[in-house]
Amino acid sequence: MARRILILMGHPGAGKGTQAREIMHSLNIPQISTGDMLRDAIARKTSYGVEAKARMDAGELVSDEIVNGIVKERIQQEDCKNGFILDGYPRTVAQAEAFRAMKDPSDHLVVIEIGANAEDLTNRLVGRLMCSGCGEIYNEYSRAPKTPGVCDFCGKQLFRRSDDRQDLIRERFKTYQEETQQLVDFYKDKGVYHHVEGMRLIRDITREILGIVDGYREVTPVPVREK
């Protein structure tokens, strides 16, 4: 059976995490990020996990070879049998080539970039609040919690990221554009790249993404945790 594989790209703060959670529940496939995979491999003491920990303890970068190996191990686990969502991988064309080699030719791959511009992102991120418990994302201007500083869903405290400042946001936006253009071109050439405008209602973005993953067939909007 062909798996549905979704790679989410986007500027920091464009809404990848929010969309990944909504799509994960709708399609019943896991969201797996580079950080999650790395921590899991280290906790399970796999060969790649042990090597990654040694590199990190020595203050070195984790090589593409290790990252690719960890991804390969992760996507072979039982919960990925119907598909999965990748967030934060691949980051380079070299990693994208490695991923092509490890997936099955019958897998249905869709790459979606959630687009935004620097001005809109700055306005969104300076008001961003994140839950320290479940990871839910709020915004003090457009999606405030019912009780200030407290998550609606798990009751944990909300916090503001230290890098959600105007100067740093604009620098991250510029860095993203410079680092990912080659990857965008790579996936465009493969015919699997799609661009979705991210400065809209969460439910509208989710519906469009699901339509793309489902081959442009009409889909029923999924319920989102949105006030």
Which structural domains are found in the chain, ordered by start? 4-117+180-213 (3.40.50.300)
Question: Please, are residues 46 and 54 in contact by the beta-carbon 8 Å criterion?
Answer: no
Please state the φ and ψ torsions of residue 35, each to the nearest 5 degrees.
-60, -45
Q: What is the pLDDT of residue 216?
A: 46
Quick one: which of 174, 185, 7 has its CA closest to 88? 7
Q: What is the pLDDT of residue 170?
A: 83
Query: pLDDT (tens digit, 0 to 9) for every residue of the chain, 227 residues total?
Result: 689 999 999 987 888 888 998 999 999 999 998 888 999 899 999 999 999 999 999 999 899 999 999 999 999 999 999 999 998 899 999 999 999 999 999 999 999 999 988 788 887 888 999 999 998 889 998 889 999 999 999 999 999 988 888 888 888 888 888 889 999 999 999 999 999 999 888 899 999 999 999 884 333 334 444 43
Distance, in Å, from the CA atom of 227 to the CA atom of 219, rounded to the nearest integer, reads 22
Q: What is the pLDDT of residue 93?
A: 96
Question: How many H helices and E strands in the chain?
Answer: 8, 8
Helix (H) or strand (E) holding 205: helix 202-213
Question: Please, are residues 89 and 67 in contact by the beta-carbon 8 Å criterion?
Answer: yes
What type of residue is 94? A
Q: Which residues are identified as catalytic? A: 16, 91, 128, 161, 172
Q: What is the pLDDT of residue 89?
A: 93
Distance, in Å, from the CA atom of 26 to the CA atom of 175, rounded to the nearest integer, reads 32
Q: What is the pLDDT of residue 220?
A: 37
- The C-alpha angle with vertex 156 and arms to 152 and 158, in degrees rounded to 5, equals 85
- The C-alpha angle with vertex 174 and arms to 169 and 180, in degrees rounded to 5, equals 120
Answer yes or no: pTM beyond 0.85: no
* Four-CA torsion 119, 120, 121, 122, nearest 10 degrees: 50
